[in-house]
Structure 1
């Protein structure tokens, strides 16, 4: 008999074990150590169990993505504060009706920045549809929240594709956007493990304007590639004007803070179509862009 012919498991699963546990009043009292270790929440949350919790946080997204057939991703970074065009236009209309100049200035800035939401949405649509049409589906992955993250998940959803959301517990709770594939919506405690999962399956990284969180993700990626800790892959920065005002690459080169050639670790792009054309030209992406 082959091993695959064995009709049942030799041992019960952990789930079955938990379901069939018999109560023991003499030992199940509060403070008792009788609970199964993997079912004992108080034990798992002890400070000295942090390495185990980190391992679980590394393994859960890995196991689930393998089960869901997620092998290649394109990661979209960007601000949670950038609104869709419709939402920004509604803010402008409300500010105009109130005659509040400060609110109107802020609302108009939101409307200007909303073009990045729409580009992220269209890029996710193009990447999802084009890779699927060529028989090599690539899954969009984001931080799972609102703004640019929502736009990425939304674009994939609108063309029938899966997408990943790697949410993080924050003091002001970040609610997952509604466009993430439910089986691929994860929640992290550790920023470091979340950033590792961004890169583990990434064929490319597409970065839109954002604040400290976006910069953290971008610079960690650049550092890992620059130092050879991670293989080189395309990094696209949407919006040359924004990024060149924010990061003075010429100063870094002039002062020797980065080496000549490091400025070529990324490309500036302005539109979804331009971004996809850059990726199509990358030799490392030939596996998904060649029909």
Structure 2
């Protein structure tokens, strides 16, 4: 082989290596804009950036859609429509009939029966959102219904707004179990969060009132978040309505807290109880904010 042919082969091999190396450069994880690097954004080092994004994105979108104030609706994910609650009770009764001595099935049947009794709150939440969404002024800019975007009472409230052609917001969150937003949220106002703290921030930021229906840990967490912000003056004055006198009076003995000296007597005025959809709306509608 001549020296010229050897040199040509070396040039060819070198060109191939160079081309392969250039391809590797262009495909490298490091050779992309930082904001497009998904692995980087998901890393622990970027947690602060992700939190900032979760604060900024909903804020920008809600500003673009001119949402000036909201009405929060909280409540349990297991409080479903009466038809669905009856179906679940029927299945629980059928299962118990096959094994009447089963303590777990007896318990499941009892819980299903109680949830059927609570199911009227689904209709109440839906009706409340219908009233708010149909009577709120300024082309859907004020008193926009906002929920966690999930099932149960949240679905009922978003559904009520949907019924009358109103807008509603869903602040959904990533959870270990598979879950999706309910189908009644206004699509361009449905958000997915990773951090509970920032989700809460957006719940209360524009809120002109909050109505809490029967629920579990999540509902209680949101209730005490709102009450604490009001108690400490970190949130401007706003009505907090506990819907379902019997449920809330049995669940939380607020008078005991006051009698024990753990909260001031005036802190009992931070919330009101009602069983009336119309009264709940009137409490919010007629509320005049103070500087507190």
Structure 1 pair 86–65 and aligned structure 2 pair: CA distance change class (3 A): same
Indicate the residue corresponding to 2:81 in structure 1: 84
Structure 1 or 2: larger helix share?
A: 2
Aligned with residue 68 of structure 1, among 65, 68, 86:
65
Shift of 1:262: 0.3
RMSD, aligned α-carbons: 2.1
Aligned with residue 43 of structure 2, among 37, 46, 65:
46
The 1-side partners of 2:138 and 2:24 are apart by 63
Aligned with residue 274 of structure 1, among 267, 271, 279:
279
Unaligned runs of 5+ in 2: 1-21, 101-105
- Local SS of the residue matching 1:66: helix
Aligned with residue 226 of structure 1, among 224, 228, 231:
231
Superposed CA offset, 1:107-140 (max 9, x none): 3212110011110000000010011489864210
The 2-side partners of 1:280 and 1:34 are apart by 55
TM-score (norm 2): 0.84
The 2-side partners of 1:208 and 1:248 are apart by 17
Structure 1 pair 68–97 and aligned structure 2 pair: CA distance change class (3 A): same
TM-score (norm 1): 0.84
- Local SS of the residue matching 1:279: helix
Indicate conservation of the 8 Å contact 1:167/1:174, yes or no: no
- Local SS of the residue matching 1:25: helix
Shift of 1:150: 0.2
1:250 and 2:255 aligned: yes
Unaligned runs of 5+ in 1: 1-23, 286-291
The 2-side partners of 1:80 and 1:215 are apart by 13
Q: How does 1:77-226 map to 2 (within 5 A)?
A: 77-95=74-92, 100=97, 102=106, 103-132=108-137, 137-226=142-231
- Local SS of the residue matching 2:220: helix
Superposed CA offset, 1:171-210 (max 9, x none): 1122100000111110000000000000111100000111
Q: Give the number of the structure whose alpha-carbon radius of gyration is greater.
A: 2
Q: Which moved further from structure 2: 218-227 or 100-109?
A: 100-109
Shift of 1:105: 3.0
Superposed CA offset, 1:218-273 (max 9, x none): 10111111111111100000111111111111111111110120011000011211
Shift of 1:41: 1.0
Indicate conservation of the 8 Å contact 1:128/1:137, yes or no: no
Indicate conservation of the 8 Å contact 2:133/2:140, yes or no: no
The 1-side partners of 2:95 and 2:194 are apart by 41
Structure 1 pair 99–38 and aligned structure 2 pair: CA distance change class (3 A): closer
Aligned with residue 52 of structure 2, among 52, 55, 74:
55
- Local SS of the residue matching 1:284: coil
Shift of 1:153: 0.2
Indicate the residue corresponding to 1:7 in structure 2: none
Indicate conservation of the 8 Å contact 2:128/2:278, yes or no: yes
Structure 1 pair 65–134 and aligned structure 2 pair: CA distance change class (3 A): closer
The 2-side partners of 1:58 and 1:51 are apart by 11
Indicate conservation of the 8 Å contact 1:82/1:148, yes or no: yes
- Local SS of the residue matching 2:257: helix
